[in-house]
A and B are shown apart, each in its own frame.
Chain A
Amino acid sequence: MTPDGTSPQVADMEPESRTGLGRERIAPQTGAPADAHPVAPADAAGTVETKQGLSVTLEQLKAFYGDAEQVKGIDLDFRANEVTAIIGPSGCGKSTMVRCINRMHEEIPGAHAEGRVLLDDADVYDPSVDVVAVRRAIGMVFQKPNPFPTMSVFDNVAAGLRLGSGGRGGRGKADLHAKVEGALRAAGLWDEMSDRLSEPGAGLSGGQQQRLCIARSLAVEPEVILMDEPCSALDPIATLKIEELIDELKKRVTIVIVTHNMQQAARVADRTAFMLSGELVEVGPTQEIFTKPNDSRTEEYVTGKFG
């Protein structure tokens, strides 16, 4: 355990002026318009820009597969509109921890999580919270690009809008088109894809597919995006494009990225957290983690002595 490494971070949560946004975002929908959240009027590509990220705070987060505790009580703060990288050796629980944030962990049979995950100031594990709303507010990009194989490029991006229960997408064709274009622009795909919208999404290159998946999660206008090794299946050029994209995206969303690539963490992350066997060893500004970490295990890991 390393309480010394983590507690200051939790303590110095900056007093947020936008308090209450998270509560509003994930509160159970009571028949009110799905879009109670103040969003600028939708014009092509404009909608996404005006959004702001929300902070995410883990409090004593534990995750279990059956009885096996694989995430062992983590306190961690992901600041709004920052990129936080999670690093650590294989099997240390990075994916598990990240999947707890948007409650995907509980989709695995026998798995459950304990503790609190605060989106801004609302606990996503609160019994009154709708899990669907949580996942709309917290998007996810997976390791392997996986566009929906039966759908075109356009339909892939529109999928989140159409699949949603309340139907943020139910506001007319022009609006849907504007949102899809906005998401594709935000993912840096519009120029390549604007005349290929009806082609199957599975027919793109790996890098394009991954950016398509990013566009797909952007289309539902999340405040946070979780990325679990989003570049591990991509070549260096495609990786670079995604990294540039991440830099661009953090203006409007909070980003959590799991990576095995130290250089990548150093390039994209404002802050970096190092995990070891289900525990958080330390978290801090990326620069510090890589140059003068507090914990000797972090130093050994980032300098490649183990892992």
Chain B
Amino acid sequence: MSAPTPMSGQFARFAVSPARRRKDKLARAAITACTVIALIPLGLVVYYLLSKGLGSWSWSFLSTDPTGNTFFKASSIGGIKSAILGTVEIVALASAIAIPIGIGVAVWLVEYGRASGFAKVVRFFVDVLTGVPSIVFGLFIYIVLIVGTGSSYAGYKGSFALALLMLPVVIRSAEVILLLIPDALRESALALGAPRWRVIFSIVLPTALPGMVTGVLLAIARAAGETAPLLFTAAATDKTNLNLGQFMNSLPVQIYKDVTSPTTAVVNRAWGAALTLVAMILLLNLIARLISRRSRLA
């Protein structure tokens, strides 16, 4: 071997040829470039959020309602209190509906339905639901619960629309995690004389919990950021309203209204609200991760 490498003697045959070295460098450069390109918009989003949003953050921004008065001084437009509380309430109710039902469906699919015909039908519909644009869920609730009943907008109707949106995400992600739980675990619990439902509640679900948290958070994050399903279900209002039976404000709808305003201060409030939304989701993520880490021994 006459490769121009420091290797010699019996190690010469292990030497990397220059051609392969070049190819390796090229491939590495290409992959690094892809990563950087993907990071650019991500970094810009974070940069704009922080630079524009942080400016409008203040205690009164978080603790006062929007005044609805958008044509005068920045100090008179108010904050986003009603939007924060509205989003928390609407998303909490949506989660309370979608998470138990979604996990229930996933458990049924994996533990009972398996490869049966009905399970296949359910999986197909869940897949279809995943791809449905969010505005369609809003439209559906609007037709059924508002036009259909002749009543008006209400926070809980927004929750229903968001729950529909979350459902397929929760089902699919929970199903994937449940499928990862080895059958040996179920079998050894069954062989101890545990009834099937106890095996599911005491062995399968606790083992799957940390994995399920990720999917559930994804669903919550997606729902919390949706504007379209809320526009004509929960509508919007300036005043803080804790009653889910009435019009309710929410962060995405507030952002949607503010960002189109001609007044700079109001547009800045939209940035502040966007930053608030992102911060809330981040916080939720952190809390959920801490809880699920603590609950897992292994």
B202, A146: Cβ atoms closer than 8 Å: no
> Most chain-A CB neighbours within 10 Å: which of B114, B182, B198?
B198
Q: How far is the CA of A150 from the CA of B296 in the complex (A)?
A: 6
Find chain B residues with CB under 8 A from A165 CB: 193-195, 198
Find chain A residues with CB under 8 A from B295 CB: 150
Is there a chain A Cβ closer than 8 Å to B268's Cβ?
no
Is there a chain B Cβ closer than 8 Å to A8's Cβ?
no
Find chain B residues with CB under 8 A from A132 CB: 193-195
Q: How far is the CA of A136 from the CA of B298 in the complex (A)?
A: 27
B193, A150: Cβ atoms closer than 8 Å: no
Chain A contact residue count (CB 8 A cutoff): 32
Q: How far is the CA of A213 from the CA of B296 in the complex (A)?
A: 20
* Those of A128-169 within 8 Å (CB) of chain B: 132-136, 139-140, 142, 144, 146, 148-152, 159-160, 162-165
Closest partner residue, chain A, to B203 (CB atom): A148
Find chain B residues with CB under 8 A from A142 CB: 184, 187-188, 191
Find chain A residues with CB under 8 A from B203 CB: 148, 150, 159, 163
Decide if the interface of chain B is mainly helix, strand, loop or mixed. Answer: helix
Question: Given A146-B184, A150-B207, A200-B297, do A163 and B199 touch, yes or no (CB 8 Å)?
Answer: yes
Find chain B residues with CB under 8 A from A140 CB: 188, 191
A36 to B: closest C-beta gap in Å: 16
A159, B184: Cβ atoms closer than 8 Å: no
B191, A102: Cβ atoms closer than 8 Å: yes
Q: How far is the CA of A164 from the CA of B115 in the complex (A)?
A: 28
Closest partner residue, chain A, to B198 (CB atom): A163
Is there a chain A Cβ closer than 8 Å to B136's Cβ?
no
B114 contact from A109, A150, A213, Cβ within 8 A: A109
Seen from chain B, the residues whose Cβ lies within 8 Å of a Cβ on chain A are: 114-115, 182, 184-185, 187-195, 198-199, 202-203, 206-207, 209, 295-298
Seen from chain A, the residues whose Cβ lies within 8 Å of a Cβ on chain B are: 102, 104, 107, 109, 132-136, 139-140, 142, 144, 146, 148-152, 159-160, 162-165, 200, 202-203, 213, 216-217, 220
